[in-house]
Structure 1
Amino acid sequence: MTEQDATLADASTPRYRSSAAARMVNIPVATLRVWERRYQVVGPAQAASGHRLYSSQDVRRLVLIKQLVNKGHGIGMLARMQTPQLQDLLHEAEQAEGLLQRSVAPVPARPTPRAADALTRLRVLLVGPDAGTRWRTTLEAVPELDVVGSLDASPQSELRVQHLQADMVVAELGALHMETVDWLVRLTKLVNARQMCVIYGFANSQVLEALRARGVILRRSPLAPHELSQALVDTVRGWQSVSEALRTLPDPAPPPRFDGPGLVNLAQSMPRVACECPQHLSELVTMLGQFEAYSADCESRQPADVTLHAYLYRVAGHARALMEEALATVAKAEGVALPERRPVR
């Protein structure tokens, strides 16, 4: 046996138990078990005691998969690839990252919705084996739309879009699975898109619900060209409408004037008001503050409607400030001292 053969044989010898392998890969043992059971990422040997034993080759494959998962690739896709393919994909990803870091003219970040002007053209990225051929001519004929690129659904295709910026990802795929959802979400983040439109042939209800929960526009194929164009034009016009409304609002609302206990005490300190207006005002301030916080949370979690939620956040803040001022006016009329403003942090 040559020295090379001996080295290969040694690398394939099962020797590491699950806990040791997971520690070397830097993942929880539970994650390793899920990867094996659900995706069959490796096929470890089993000792007479029943323990799973992993070879150095198994550990190396798991390390590659972990690195690629950290870079945004889906575990379902990676599990089907051979180890040399994983190595090539990681090498290409690192090369692309290096080029981006060394670029002397990086792509400028898109302005946040609160400062952005209304969109005049919707930048569209086409995804799918035949999406570029089928839809490019149709969409480029629409004044509101601008096709910035197209790609197939292969793992390597992601490397070609890291320099692109798009507002909408339009994907035409025959069958949808949960791993497809993960891939589309990752692709959407790569190009900094607000929303997806997915044209599909077949999908189960779980997959469709996952897409709907992300605000995806769903259309069943076959789809007429004018139907897709109209759906995208409606989207950009909706964004324009909200952006214009956002610009008409004054600056962001002032911070909350009262805290929870202060509101309660203030309402209870006005016994001379025969009706319950102070109490109602206090409840309105509380509810508007809660909706203000909810809209801010939606703004960070829902990229498809980020401008809408930025608008709602600002409207709720100004409404809350108006109700606070109304409550303070009633209190002054009743001769009740106002609680001190909370310090702005």
Structure 2
Amino acid sequence: MTKQTEHAQDGRSTAPGEVTYRSGVAARLAGLPVETLRVWERRYDLSETRRSAHGQRLYTASQVQRLGLLKQLVDQGHPIGQLAHLSIDELRTLGGADQAGDSAPPGPIDVVVIGPGLARRIGASPRDTALLNVLDSCPRLDMSAFPRPGLHADVLLVELAELDEGAIPMIAATSKALQAAATVVLYRFCSNATIRALRSQGWLVARVPSEMGELIPLCRQALEGQRLPARHAEQLPPAQRFDEESLANLTAASSKLACECPRHMAELLLMIGSFERYSQQCASRNTMDAQLHLDLGHAAGRARAILETALERLARAEGLPLPLKGANVS
């Protein structure tokens, strides 16, 4: 893919072949909210960036790297005001990141793209996707004619609008044929069960991003192994024992009792179960906060299990109806 150089307002340009990024893409690459970057620039003028002919700030790879170091150090508790004018070497020393690998600017990523129009959209956003080198593309998963023999890629990038588990074998076969170091799967609609099945393959799974510049951080996260850690079965919350119908039956039956505890506990379980499912859906929105929302969902699941045990004990004591043992509650 051809790398395009932005021209500065003063008539000068960046070095030949040097890749630059607009503020939004630079912020995403550095792991910053773009609003935070704008505040930092306004208050501290911290990057000495050039501007495009349209007045947009342009960041080089080394400047993006510096922003990433600033973000890490601020997360560790260092005030941005004390960091803003330190050199990149001083920031590395402060953060203990003085290894040789840390000084290398991000290089291009060889990708093979599967999905209707995805390669075209990447090509139409050269400033946002300059580091994505598209080796080949195919509008759909089709092992009979794709990929080409001998083709290898850093990342297999797959976009399927409606994703189901039937695609897993074909994605796995394509990734193996390409000897891809990582696989990124993008979707618009997908069940939580399918997302878990995809992630169990070691793939990075996320919703189709609204901007093409977000593809670079996703690919880098996949290559660097920044995926959700595998969950062992013993760490998962127990299966649900009371569905909404069972809780409604308990609530109705408890209306004949003087004690209102069964009704209150059933209402609590309805709320916690709803939040548990909501957190599972949140975990699939993007990779940045996926682990947090997955942990929230598991915490809600453990709380649900404790309350279910208490409710079962209370229901037995009061002679209230309980769901049949072994019933399939989902």
| Fold conserved between structures, TM > 0.5 | no
Larger Rg: 1
- TM-score with structure 1 length normalisation? 0.38
Larger helix fraction of residues: 1
